[in-house]
Structure 1
Amino acid sequence: MTQIGLALAGRAGARLAAAVGITVGRDTLLRMVRALPEPEIGEVEVLGVDAYAFRKGRHYGTVLIDMATHRPLHLYDGREGEDLAAWLQDHPEVKVICRDRSSGYGEGARVGAPQAQQVADRYHLWANLGQAVEKTVNAHRSRLAEPLAGAEDGPGHLDTEPEVVQPSKELKIVTRLREQHATAHEMWAQGMSKAAIGRKLGLHQATVRKLVNVRFADDVVAKSLQRAHVVDPYVGYLHRRWNEGIRNAAQLHREIQELGYPGGELAVQRHLRRYRTGRGHAPAVGTKPLSVCEVTSWIMTHPEHLRDGDADKLHRLRERDPELDRLTGHVRKFAAMMTGRHGDRLDGWITEAEQDTLAPLASFARNLRRDLDAVRNGLSMSYSSGAVEGNINRLKMLKRQMLGRAGLDLLRKRVLLAR
């Protein structure tokens, strides 16, 4: 019954026990788990440290891992450096500490184990670099559309490039997203939960989470404007007919229906509405602009692992945008430094990134200086926090099985003893 309680906790454990002929209540199983003694820690030379979420964005804890055996050693509530320092002072044998780039853990490790080398995890370094790359690409999203190769002469060909008539007003969805983003952040700063914000604004909790987790409204707007629309495959035909003088949305709707358009006339009206100001031309349409996510993915992927088509698109993008070309170069140098364990090149890479005009990348580089020794060790030594991340995933699985009234003590027992 104890093993059942360790593996499945209360409700699920009671159901399995009943299936094998044992009548036991869920609370009895939990009491048996709580009564188990915690295992001896022993000596630990290489320690892994990371945070996990009891409630994402609100309540966190910390888990300590023996990197030699990959076994959890301790869990405590919160992610403050003082608690880590107190634990380390009882374990002066620790020589290496693998951690993320949290300043709290860094200070706690320095105070509690000044003799230990701190190693910044490469996974978190690469993830932080990816965030800087995405911000940079997002700032260049207006340049992601490939130019037309040149239109062929034909009945609908225009001798001159049509003037692009911009909408006189910001799209309603953009205005609405900006207002919702500002209001959601204001409520979040006042301490309201995401569920409460959703009820107040009449939004789904997932939408509130998207708004709160994004710092700038432009990031939300960009992602919304990049979404595929039902009219997108027919935009080229619509613009050509518009520039030929056919301005009746109902007629254009009937024409694209014959081409397979599945949507309604209202979507066509909304798309063409922006070009009615001054009876101007609709812009010439090439291929659909590349998305920020896919360009970021191409830049962060090893060149040998890119598909031929994606590699060609990235090559053309780099040719027409010098800043994204330099960004790709910086990323590939960092990747070579990380995979080849060339931590001695870090200072030079940081200097180059700081001197570039790419603001998000320069900010990432400056932040590396604040934790320079740990980052250099992470790029030079073989230690990694992979075992820590594996235990975090296991902890999440165990936590999902917990009863609402079960506390940290029960979770600690299950993490330390369940196999």
Structure 2
Amino acid sequence: MICDLQTHKPLALLPDRRPETVTAWLQMNPFVQVVSRDGFTAFRQGITQADSSIRQIYDRFHFIRNAKKQLDTCAASIVPAKITWSDSTDAAEEIPLTRAEKQTRDRQKRKWELVQEIQEAFKRGKNLSRLAREYDLDWRTIQKYTKMKGPPNYQRQRARLTDPFNERMRKLEKEGNTVKEIYSALQIEGYTGTYSGVRTFVQSIRKDRKHNTSGEKVLSISRR
């Protein structure tokens, strides 16, 4: 349909959208100087073939829609998919323990109960040798237990190849990179460890965020 730009009244209803149809109508109506149209290529071709001096402009709807698409594309290239900010007023949610973590916790609890029992017996006057026989432990172990001030902590940490890159991985993950992309970036920067090491660390970051252990909120931005 062709309408007058000033009166908005229909002027013609063309039988199809082919460029030659548009050209024929414009040649029959040489008074047209400005055409407001959408981005359909056939319209542009038909108008140009009829008279290249006719000024062609986008209608407001398609102009705004195309501008929004360009802004979305630009935003997707510079804005991370997720933005985090601190919110110290929110209480952090406790992370559910894994099966292995629960087993470790239970072992530590039983060990501490044993230590307390040995300490009480030692205070009542039993010597190290007697306690060693009763509990079937080396006397040095008994001696160590009698001097303990708090529950044992068996979470032994050993250096990992990912350790020097922890902050870098946090930054890359925060920017929305995948594990594969992070791994590739670290290799360029000198990382010689395995892919699984990077994946494990990134998964721990996402687990912490999911359970809000750092007191941070996560805002997800759609890129569509």
User: TM (normalized to structure 1)?
Assistant: 0.24
Quick check: which one's helix share is greater?
1
Bigger Cα Rg: 2
User: TM (normalized to structure 2)?
Assistant: 0.42
